Every structure is written in structure tokens, then in C-alpha cells.
Structure 1
Amino acid sequence: MRLVQYGRSEDEWAQLTSVGKEFLIERARMGRTTSYTEFNAALVNRTGAKSFDFDLDSDRAAVGALLGQISEDTAEEIGGLLISALVQYLDTNDAGPGFYALARSKGFAVPASSDDRQLFWAGHVGHVHKYYSRR
């Protein structure tokens, strides 16, 4: 089995991507967000894969890459929206910097001020919820 990025096999990465996408769609249909911790726990519970350790830079980067791939895989279906907007820091009301970097790379005008950025993120979450609530 060939290893891919972050020490996960190609098959395991594909499974994590598929299961992560299903989990985020479930959250969107319920009109909810999730935390990185809950997302990680769902991956472990649903796949049996090793947990990502958020104390390690490499594992934080792996989760960011995984969420980026899930967003790429779903963006066309949901009109360019980024489903990774649903994942936020535990006990905060904002997305991680990876969401904003991906949004910029996709051509979204991400505001500079933190208040405006948070409004941008909340609007994105609302649009993702609205899209999936109709499905």
C-alpha cells in the first residue's frame, strides 16, 4: 500500500475524505457546525483510523489538508461554497485560518478586519446550511 501525505495510506486517506464529507453534510442538513475535535472524533469512530493529534503541527496540517480536499470535492456541487466553513475551533465562533486561505485561493474577497471576516464566515455557513437543508 502506497503512503500518501501525512503518513496515511492512499486507501485510508480516501476513506477519511469520504467519511469526513458525509459527516459535514449531516451537520449541514441539521443546520449545525462542528469543532475540529468533534470532526476528529467522528473520523475515528466511523473509520477506526488513528486520531489526529492537534498538539502536532503535522496532524493539524493533515486535518487542514483533509478539509481542503473535502471542500474541493464538494465545491462544484454547492455552487463554489466551502463546506469546511462548518468546522470551527472548540468554544469559539469562527473558522480556522485554513478556511480563509482556501476562500482567498478560490477568489472570495475575504475581509481584512476580524469582525468583517467573522461575518463573511457566518454568511458562508448560512449558505452551506441553506443548500443542504433543501436536499
Structure 2
Amino acid sequence: MTERSESDWQELTAEGRRILWGVARNGKLIDYGEFNDQLAEATGLLSFDLSTDRGRADISNLLVRIHNLDWDESKPYMLTSLVKLSGGNHPGRGFFTLASSKGLYAPDVPEDAFWSDQVRRAHEAHRRVRPVRG
């Protein structure tokens, strides 16, 4: 188990946000394992041990930090929607818990519809605008 300093958390948050901006620009999704590997490579910090409850809780905490850093009321989308479970096409439960706690998600809305909308919004917000050639 690795205890992280606040400066490590800040570095992971900033780098995680940068990684997710790139994922959004490319119109993609990233799974937790790939996100974890890219974070470790970019920061030089130890990766989260996703085989443990603690490691999964820590990466979830990081995604909350990224959301809080990235959130902008004028552009209401969740950048963290781009992180999905490995081997599937769905986010972790923490995504919906966070969205609900922020008043963004109501349980009467189908999860897949809400998630798809958030992914679409994240992709649109970061889409590269290419100049029109004339």
C-alpha cells in the first residue's frame, strides 16, 4: 500500500486531466488499466494497484479530484466519463455516484443514456477544429 503526499495527488490530478483531454480530443474512451499505466508513465509515480479495494478506491478518488478541477458550469459535462471498465463499455459505479452527488444524474434516467450523453459532450468540448481549406 502506497501513501501519497498531497503534492503527488496534485500531480496525478493535473496529469490525469491532461490525459483525459487527449482522450477526448481523439474521440476515444480509456479503460482504468490503461489510464493507470499512462499516469504512472507520465508522472514516474507508482501506479494504483487495481487488484485491491484500496487501489480501486484511490483511483476513484483521483477521478473525483479531476472532475472537481475540470468542472465548469458553462460547459456541463464530466470529463471523467471517458474512463470505462476494462473489457466492457460502461463506467464504474463511482461515475454515477459522483454524478448523482453533484446533482447531474437522477436514478430515473437510464444509466447508459446518461453516460453516452456525457461522453458525447466531453468529445464535443475537446474536438479539434480544423481550418477549412478553400
Write the distance in 1 (CA, Å) between the matches of 2:7 and 2:16.
14
Structure 1: gaps of 5 or more residues = 1-5
CA RMSD of aligned residues (A): 1.7
Write the distance in 2 (CA, Å) between the matches of 1:10 and 1:101.
24
Is residue 16 from structure 1 mapped to residue 1 from structure 2 by the alignment? no
Q: Indicate conservation of the 8 Å contact 2:24/2:127, yes or no.
A: yes
- TM-score, normalised with respect to structure 1: 0.88
The answer for the alignment partner of 2:58 in structure 1 is 62
Write the distance in 1 (CA, Å) between the matches of 2:28 and 2:34.
12
- For these two proteins, the number of residue pairs brought into alignment is 128
Q: Indicate conservation of the 8 Å contact 2:81/2:115, yes or no.
A: yes
Q: C-alpha displacement at 1:111, in angstroms? A: 3.7
Q: Select the structure that is richer in helix.
A: 1
Q: Indicate conservation of the 8 Å contact 2:96/2:105, yes or no.
A: no
Larger radius of gyration: 2
Structure 2: gaps of 5 or more residues = 130-134
Residue 125 of structure 1 is aligned with which of 96, 104, 119?
119
The answer for the alignment partner of 1:3 in structure 2 is none
Query: How many percent of aligned residue pairs carry the same amino acid?
Result: 35
Q: Indicate conservation of the 8 Å contact 1:88/1:95, yes or no.
A: yes
